[in-house]
Amino acid sequence: MLSKVISAAYLMLWISSCAAAEDPYMTRALQLMSETPLIDGHNDLPWQLRMQFNNELNKVDLNTLDTTHTNIPKIKEGRLGAQFWSAYVPCESQYKDAVRQTLEQIDVVHRMCQKYPETFMFATSSHDIMTAFSMNKTASLIGVEGGHSLDSSLGTLRLMYQLGVRYLTLTHSCNTPWADNWLVDTGADPSEHNGLSAFGKQLIAEMNRLGMLIDLAHVTQAVMHQVLDMSAAPVIFSHSSAYSVCPHKRNVPDDVLRRVNETRGIVMVNFYNDYVTCSKTANLSDVADHFDHIKKVGGAGIVGFGGDYDGVGRLPEGLEDVSKVPKVVAELLRRGWSDVDVKAALGNNLLRVLSHNEGVRDGLRDKSPDDVPIPYDEVKNTCRTSYGYQTLNTGAVHSLSTLGLLLTLALHAVTT
């Protein structure tokens, strides 16, 4: 059975190669993708594994799975060089079992790599991505989608980093006890922190110390600017598009695009129709419009791919699953993008951002972990105990080491 699946995958590759022979832009796209890894910032296949199979991988074969946007033959046809798999759990789990569920999503990514070692290589660094690419495997990284997954714990953040998590989306579609989410900008949710709380700023500093990418998809514009003000490392938007093309609050406005350029970060374009055209329908050209706009405003150095496959219900015509992504590359070439700019968007931009974060981490290696907890009153609820807090009305007071780190980050941000 496996041999038949492999044969089918190679047949799909042969068919796509024949199609490329008739389209010089596709021929060039596939050549560039053979030289530079396509790195996608966000894919929700792990959530589909939970919802469809309760994470029982023994009950599913990713070679033949046909109920998702992503499977192994589609990955091969789409030339997916590296993927940040999303360890996502819903906001309803906040204050309940968010940490446990998130750990289970991290676990399922590890087990997926172990079950299909010929396809996936677990990765935690820019070096790992290139190693996997040289082996013709998809580098598999993890991003945690939503700060509620931490239960407001810096210790949990550190442990997730040790388990391989390399970015944290600060919020999903709910406020945390320390950050406001994007729905605040729509008026649907109230602002609770005017962006980040004091603890939220502690968390940003600790992420810089760890070398964990800060993902600003899903946050308010206030949070975007506060993080860009203080982070010593470049940030990512793992799956967001251009607000000027589609004025949805999940997208990135032009003033932020310019700041992302100044701080050498990246905006990875989301393919969800509602964020592409602000309507139920979209097409390949509409997606390319976002790439063009981000490049025009912030430069080719801040553009990337963040398709959001298996996390959305509507995708553009022509981009129905991960196998179709080379079409975007061909369209950019058709629009006059240079090979250098296309390679930047494919993967070189993300590799640079990840490497820069690793460099900031290495520069802060002598800094102690921040062990000052969030004030108990900011997280008090019926599911939480107060062990360790001396009095219930006392909270986090910045230690001298934390204040020093915050000052160091602020000075670094001013001088870089």
CA distance 369 to 222: 27
Angstrom distances, CA of residue 214 to CA of 208, 219, 317, 324, 383: 8, 11, 31, 28, 28
Q: Tell me how far apart the alpha carbons of residues 226 and 184 are, in angstroms, rounded to a whole number.
A: 15
**229 in active site:** no
Told to judge if 145 belongs to the known catalytic residues of this protein, a careful annotator would answer yes
Q: Which of 172, 248, 293, 356 is catalytic?
A: 172
CA 138 – CA 72 distance, rounded (Å)? 10
Q: What angle do CA 302, 162, 50 make, to 5 degrees?
A: 80
Catalytic residue (one of 128, 185, 206, 308) = 308
Structure tokens at 220: 């308010």
Place of tokens 């934390």: 402
Active site residue 44: yes
* One-letter amino acid of 225: H
Between CA 93 and CA 104 the distance in angstroms is 13
C-alpha distances in angstroms, 267 versus 130, 257, 259, 270, 387?
21, 8, 11, 9, 41
- 193 included as an active-site residue: no
What is the rounded distance in angstroms from the CA atom of residue 45 to the CA atom of residue 68?
Answer: 7
Give, as one character, the DSSP assignment of residue 345: I
Q: Does 248 participate in catalysis according to the annotation? A: no
Catalytic residue among 148, 218, 248, 290: 218
Catalytic residue among 40, 77, 128, 145: 145
User: What's the rounded Cα separation, in Å, for the pair 196 and 175?
Assistant: 10
- Region for 164 from its dihedrals, namely left if φ exceeds 0, alpha if ψ lies in -120 to 50, beta otherwise: left
**Locus of tokens 């506060």:** 226
Q: Is 243 within 8 Å of 182 (Cβ atoms)?
A: no
- The residue ranges of DSSP E strands in 229-335, in sequence order, are 236-237, 266-269, 303-305
Query: Is 239 labeled as catalytic in the residue annotation?
Result: yes
Catalytic residue among 148, 193, 239, 290: 239
Separation CA 328–CA 12 (nearest Å): 18
Question: How far apart (Å, rounded) are the C-alpha atoms in residues 133 and 80?
Answer: 9
Rg of the chain over Cα atoms, rounded to whole angstroms, equals 21
308 is catalytic: yes
**What residues are annotated to the active site?**
42, 44, 145, 172, 218, 239, 308
